Each structure stands twice: as structure tokens, then as C-alpha cells.
Homo-oligomer: A and B are copies of this chain.
Amino acid sequence: MPDSEKSRIAIGNFMTLNTKSVRPDTSVTDASKIMYENHIPSILVEEHGKIIGIVTYADIALALTIYANDPSSQIKSIMSAPVVSVTSDSSILDAVELMLEKKIHKIPVIDDGTVQGIISATDLMSLLSVLDEEQFYDVFRTHISK
């Protein structure tokens, strides 16, 4: 297939553009509010123009229960770091493999230090919705018969 077509299956076409970042000293509750109000399941932590961490609802839930952190504590104390990221020209299939390997569900898409978006398991799952039942069977015949 020509390169011009090949590039169209890159992550850039399927990622969520809606991302937010907060400073490392933002409280867990304030970060959670921003996530909720913006309908985003994760938030980036930025310092001096660089992404230094990422926080999901799972990180918040575990921090405030098992690790007994306070909701007023700084987000940097509970963030995941360093951040696993991809570039917008990475392949969708690379993102799938990375999520399965690292057991993560959200990966920031960063080009030359600039955040372009986030790709999630749900974004990738939604690709399946374009298949009809017969196409689905054809595609996954090998997998199913394993």
C-alpha cells in the first residue's frame, strides 16, 4: 500500500484530543474535579513544560484507600511516572501491544515534547463497532479457533 495510505492508520486518527494537565502541587481533589468536569479518565502532570506523570481514577482510588493518602495531598505524590508515551505516527497496533504488555489503559500521544492527545483502550475498542457480525467472524476466525 502506498505510504500516503499507510500513514492514515496511525494513532493520530483515533486518539482523544481532549487532554488536561495540572501542576505537580495540584490537590488530588482538584485534579479529580477537572477529570470529572471534562469527562476524561486521566490527567497529565506537567512541570516546566514537560509531562512528568499521569494519573488515572485507579491511581486516585488506590491512593485514598489502600495507601491512606488524603484527598488534599499533592497530585505528584500519587502520579505514575515516568510516563509511557507514543507518537501520533505510531501504529494503532503498537498501542494495543503496549497496553497489554504494560497493563495500562491510557497512553499519552506526545510529539517532540508536545501533547497531541491520549489513546485509550476504549478508543481502540470502538474501532470494533465498525465491523458487522460477519466481518468480525472473518477477521477473528484464527483467534477464535485457538
Contact = CB atoms under 8 A, between A and B. Distances in A.
A100 B127 CA distance: 11
Total copies of this chain within the assembly: 2
B135 A139 contact: yes
Size bin of chain A's contact surface: 35 or more
A81 interface: no
Contact of A139 (B6, B29, B131, B137): B131
Interface in A43-69: 56-58, 60-62, 64-66, 68
Contacts of A13: 144
Given A64-B71, A65-B71, 10 more contacts: A6-B133, A29-B65, A33-B65, A57-B61, A57-B62, A60-B65, A92-B128, A100-B126, A124-B125, A128-B128
